[in-house]
Structure 1
Amino acid sequence: MYKYSIMLLGAIYLAGCASLAPTYSQPKAPLPSAWPEGDSYKSQNTGVLATDTSWEKFILNNKMRQVVEIGLSNNRDIKITLANIEAARAQYRVQDAAMLPTINADVTGTRGRSAVTSSNGEMSTSKVESYSASVGMTAYEIDFFGKIRSLSNAALESYLATEEAHRTAKISLISELLGAYQTMAADSSQLALSRKTMSSAESSMTVIQKRLDIGVATRLELRQAETAYQTARADVANLITLVAQDRNALELLAGTSISDDLLPAELPTNEVWFANISPSLDSSILLQRPDVLVAEHQLKSANTNIGAARAAFFPSVKLTASTGLASAELAKLFTGAGVWSLIPSVTLPIFDNGTNKANLDYANAQQKLYLATYELTLQTAFKEVADVLARNGTIKEQLDAQQHLVEAATDSYMIANERYKKGVSTYLEALDAQRVLYASEKTLITVKLLEYENHRALYKVLGGGA
């Protein structure tokens, strides 16, 4: 037993040999260290970092936060990524277990009668018994050249990549839930505006009809008023459908139905829905984005696979060993004679038709592929952040201009309407003013949604701390 223990410990020690994989160093990021500058990029470094802000702290609206909680618990895409994580973790454990020997216990016994020929040629039979108990390992590969360690490290990196992919899916789901919620709020606001405009146009039609009845208005004016009414009416019908479809989209993302009390009634004009997020001083924050980390873990996995491919060119050393007791009688088994066996085997690749060389070439090509993928992921991330920052630097000015446009259009419509009532101008002037007001109010809702969308997008593209 002592000899066997020494042998087993030595095998485990040898399993820790160095890998033949290339030494990994993080590639230099192929992008500028600073964010773009110019008229579109104003100072935007106020607020907390996205990576330091959980989604619970980022979302300030309680109803919206509850909808996100429902989605994270029920969305099927998230459940799929969680299942993938469990599968990757299991694969890593299987591969990691190969680094240690597998120990098995074996107890056998035989009992029978065999023929025996005596010295004088007479045939007789005798009873034969044999019992043995042993503990041993079978075909344990001693990892002299790090092949098993490389495969284990590759499985570990694949598992870590899967975990980061789950973070990516979680951040994307949060962003999509917020986007669907905001879209429904904006369409609800558009619906309320269209209903108000339709009601106003209907009132104008009633007034003009009365003026027509007493001969102070024309059928043309009545028809002009009707065009405004029917336009708003068509918008109401369309927006009723859009709001219903928005709810369907939101509930699909949430993975279940959403109660009416959690749904948005309108897009708020004064309420702050999100915490202020800073893009940080330089682009190094992108190295923490989960999709970038996924690409880096995949690159590391490909790097370690080169070590496994290189190790295939060297001899494979396997060890089969056992130790135990044997006896001719069951009752004396544990006082019987000690037995042991040690069977080392060495396999040296001599001619494999270029298989090992092809496997190494493939591993090197995969490493180059994942390096390019990592660099492209970083460049794409930089472009996404730059796009959001470009919008973020000007959206407040655009929103302010649109609000002033609505104020001017409102005043213009009131003046034109009063002029028409007093007979100073035609109804066409009032109608044109009403159309401008309606269009500017619709655009204001769109720009306000754009502001919310951009704020949400900034949290996502900076790798928000989900």
Structure 2
Amino acid sequence: MSSFSIRQPVLAMLLVGVLSGCSLAPQYVRPDAPVAASYPTASTQSPSVVAAADIGWREFFPDKRLQALIASALDNNRDLREAALRIEEARAQYNIQWADQVPNLNATASGSRGRTVIPGVTPGGTSVVTSNYQVGLSLAAFELDFFGRVRNLSQAALEQYLATEEARRAAQISLVAEVAKAYLAERAFTEQLELAKNTFESRQKAYGLAQQRFEVGATSALDLRQNEILVQSARVSYLTLQRQRAQAENALTLLVGRPLTDLPPAQTLSEQNIVTDIPAGLPSDLLARRPDIRSSENRLRASNASIGAARAAFFPRISLTAGIGSASNELSGLFESGTRTWSFVPQLVLPLFDAGRNRANLSLAEARNNIAVVNYERTIQVAFREVADALAARETLEEEIEAQRKVQDAQAERLKLADLRFQNGIASSLDLLDAQRELFAAQQQLIQTRLLRLTNAIDLYRSLGGGLQENAVASGTATKAE
């Protein structure tokens, strides 16, 4: 039989295997989002306002020092590096799985030489030395994917790869937000530390005066001890804030991935013009804007494809093994006429009894798919809650800052009046000390409220999918908060 007559059925079977394959995977249907159609406290936004996902982090964070920290973190953070390497791992795994859909051709060469004893009339028989040399091409066990088993495994690997890539994007968004929050926390501790230092120094001076007054009998021991309590309280606050600021700086260094050197000057919290008036949109927009939701859906698609592969295991599996080449008992005669060889070995495997293995594999794939559905729905619910919480806080934090500022101003005025009354002998030193204590608490609380307002804006930016772009991808206007 000529080689052409052999090639025809082989190519025909390969073509049939490629073109007539079907998939037994369930048709994918995206689960309904288990959340409300709108956010509880979402306000109507102007259509000219840019969506969070379209605002670059350089526009959202105008502080040059913070921009440098974020850029450094994107280059040096080890968690983000690991996420990027996970993408390479998933891509390689997909390429391995995809290769099973394509025939693998191998060049082969072999040689053997042996001595065989043939029994005969002579004692010990007759020895014969034989040689065999072969070269050629071989097709090793290529599966004709009639029922989509290989194709579904490849699709599952592809979806896992896409999920890993989306997970890296989600990690970047989280990293940008965490660096910004850590930086603002460090700034808040720095401002509180400076305030505590000034308060401690002023109370030390006041305590020295109180001690002098006590020594001359102008004040009582009770007044002296009250002053001493204020001094030590300020000292405790100062030392506590020193520790907290150092720890906040260490946390920021870990996120950035390198020492915090060669950075632009820092800005105070009141100078942070972070964008706050971000449109919330609809919960359905999160499905396209949040990489973690897209990653969860990719994993759901992968589990759906795995069901198809598990179902295909119940059906016959057809594989082809073939080869063509040249063989000779002399190495020099390998390519002479008449030495051509070929082989064609189709194989059909039909599952008959496997002690329930295939059924268990299908049940496992279906269970994992159900778990993936639950994870996908939970991811949407968590995203909805994050946005709703940030919106709820945004509604009141501006008023809280204004109210706290008025409290601070009132306490400052109270301290002036208490000091004036004390100097004129109208009020006791206890009134003055209480006014000092209340003013310090009000000043600290104003810093905390400013920090809370800024971190809330960052949380809303992150929860709406912002932080993936470095620069804005759409034009528009946005309001910046003090």
- 1:31-430 to structure 2, matched below 5 A, reads 31-37=35-41, 42-43=43-44, 47-110=49-112, 130-212=132-214, 215-259=217-261, 261=263, 264=266, 267-272=268-273, 274-276=274-276, 278-287=278-287, 288-327=289-328, 329-337=330-338, 338-430=340-432
Distance 1:125 1:412, change over 3 A: closer
- Over 3 Å counting, the alpha-carbon distance change for 1:237 and 1:116 in structure 2 is closer
Instruction: Report if aligned partners of 2:62, 2:272 keep a CA contact under 8 Å in 1.
Output: no
Worse-matched range after superposition: 372-381 or 209-218: 209-218
Task: Measure how far apart 1:202 and its partner are.
Answer: 2.3
Quick check: 1:279–1:462 contact (8 Å CA) kept in 2? no
Write the distance in 2 (CA, Å) between the matches of 1:347 and 1:62: 66
Matched-pair contact (CA < 8 Å) for 1:50–1:277 = no
Distance in structure 2 (CA, Å) of the matches to 1:232 and 1:124: 109
Partner of 1:21: 25
Give the conservation status (yes or no) of the 8 Å contact 2:177–2:467. Answer: no
| Secondary structure, aligned partner of 2:31 | coil
CA distance in 1, matches of 2:114, 2:295: 63
Structure 1 residues 180 and 44, CA gap change in structure 2 (3 angstroms): farther
Amino-acid identity (%)? 39
CA separation of 1:463 and 1:136: change in aligned 2, threshold 3 A: same
Q: CA deviation at 1:73?
A: 2.1
The Cα shift of 1:47 comes to: 4.0
Deviation at 1:277, TM superposition (A): 5.4
Between 1:218-227 and 1:356-365, the stretch displaced more is 218-227
Q: Deviations over 1:398-431 (max 9, x none)?
A: 1111111111111111111112112222222222
Q: What is the TM-score when the length of structure 1 is the normalising length?
A: 0.90
The letter of the residue matching 1:424 is: I
Aligned twin of 1:11: 14
TM-score (norm 2): 0.88
Partners of 2:16 and 2:290 in 1: how far apart?
Answer: 38
2:184/2:269 contact within 8 Å kept? no
Instruction: Indicate how the Cα distance of structure 1 residues 202 and 117 shifts in structure 2: closer, same or farther if over 3 A, else same.
Output: closer
Number of aligned residue pairs: give it.
458
Q: CA deviation at 1:307?
A: 0.5
Q: Secondary structure at the match of 1:26?
A: coil
Question: 1:213-240: CA deviations, max 9, x gaps?
Answer: 5554444333322222221111111111
Are the structure 2 counterparts of residues 429 and 3 from structure 1 closer, same or farther at C-alpha, using a change threshold of 3 Å?
Answer: farther
Name the SS of the counterpart of 2:346 in structure 1: strand
Q: Which amino acid aligns with 2:145?
A: D
Offset, 1:280: 3.4
CA distance in 2, matches of 1:223, 1:260: 47
What is the CA-CA distance between 1:4 and the residue it aligns to? 5.9
Distance 1:383 1:125, change over 3 A: closer
Name the CA distance, whole Å, in 2 between partners of 1:261 and 1:222: 46
SS at match of 1:269: helix
Q: Mean alpha-carbon deviation: is it higher for 108-117 or for 420-429?
A: 108-117
- Aligned to 2:371, the other structure's residue is in SS state helix
Shift of 1:211: 4.2
Report which stretch shifted further, 242-251 or 46-55.
46-55
Separation in 2, partners of 1:371, 1:63: 42
- SS at the partner of 2:335? helix
CA RMSD between the two structures? 2.6
Question: CA-to-partner distance for each residue in 1:160-216, whole Å, 9 max, x for gaps?
Answer: 111111122222222222221111111111111111211222232334344445554
Distance 1:12 1:58 in 2: 55
d(CA) in 2 for partners of 1:367 and 1:31?
21
Take 1:29 and 1:366, find their aligned partners in 2: how far apart are those partners?
19
2:319 and 2:347 in contact (8 A); partners too: yes
**Letter paired with 1:316:** R
3-state SS of 1:318 partner: strand
Q: Deviations over 1:412-463 (max 9, x none)?
A: 1111111211222222222221111111111001100101110111122112
Distance 2:141 2:187 in 1: 66
- In structure 2, relative to structure 1, the CA distance for the partners of 1:335 and 1:85 (3 Å cut) is same
Structure-2 change in CA distance of 1:112 and 1:430 (3 Å): closer
Describe the SS at the equivalent of 1:105. strand
Question: In 2 relative to 1, CA 465–223 (structure 1 residues): closer, same or farther, beyond 3 Å?
Answer: closer
SS of aligned partner of 1:199: helix
Moved more, 323-332 or 181-190: 323-332
- C-alpha distance in 1 between matches for 2:181 and 2:336: 77
| Structure 2 residues without counterparts, runs of 5 or longer | 469-482
- Counterpart Cα distance in 2 of 1:444 and 1:114: 98
Aligned-partner Cα distance in 2 for 1:105–1:358: 39
Question: One-letter code of the match for 2:292?
Answer: D
Relative to structure 1, is the Cα distance of residues 371 and 78 closer, same or farther in structure 2, using a 3 angstrom cutoff?
same
